[in-house]
Amino acid sequence: MAANHPPLIRNVLSIAGSDPSGGAGIQVDLKAFSARGVYGMAAITALTAQNTQGVSGVQVVPADFVAQQIKAVFADVRVDAVKIGMIANGEIAQAVADVLAAHKGIPMVLDPVMIAKGGASLLDTCAISVMIHHLMPLATLVTPNLPEAAALLGQAEAQDRVTMQAQAEKLLTLGAQAVLLKGGHLPGDDSPDVLVSTTGTRWFEGRRINTANTHGTGCSLSSALAAELAKGLSLQNAVATARTWLRGAVSSADRLMVGSGHGPVHHFHALWGSV
């Protein structure tokens, strides 16, 4: 009788910036990977000085060293999915695109991090063109929020579902296989997301969760999505699974006492029990 082997643990690489307070960026990506049962790796694009109240400084990593980090991982480790977060500037965006172009068969989730929770700009404006023309065509899924979608398209921020879906469809024409446009900034009590791909459109519904502790939700969702795609889930199932997990993390966020501003979500809400 053949031995029963445990399922293969997938390896997921995050390419993003660092948050010393642990609420966003690389630190959150690794937490989300662990919470979703995959092995996490990280290539750092920028160091930030930030906490739950905002970003006070950014130190960008040289583009060639960002590329060197990514190449080192691929040279030694099986990479089952990639999450791309903060890319800081056009040189880094181009370097990341150049390296990843050789690995097009791997699921890639692009979270176009452009604006911090406190309103600080995290993306050099000259990088937007590189992101659109070189990173988006590599992406399995792009996960902008409404302000990011508006900035990418040069349009006003969507205030209703009709405009939101139209913008998601417009973003799809930029080359990604699918777009998950997040509706957390819509007015009202609902917080729906819309998934648009070449095979159709699906809305994912959800009521707004009453908490100020939402720091890093975008990073967390995109990382969870990369983890689920690495495990072989379909795009729709990956979105459904990642959203359910994130909603649990946001619902449990007030159990944490981190900082006096927008605190982090509770990534390990399903694992820590009553701790």
Residues marked active site are found at 182, 214, 216-219
Beta carbons of 165 and 196 less than 8 angstroms apart: yes
Order of strands across the sheet with 193-197? 54-60, 39-51, 11-18, 81-84, 108-110, 141-142, 178-182, 193-197, 200-204
Which one-letter DSSP state was computed for residue 138?
A: G
CA dist 159 and 224 (Å) reads 27
Comparing C-alpha atoms, which of 80, 87, 69 is closest to residue 135?
A: 87
CB 181 within 8 A of CB 193: yes
Task: Quote the CA–CA distance of 151 and 245 in Å, as a whole number.
Answer: 28
Partners of 194 in the β-ladder:
181, 203
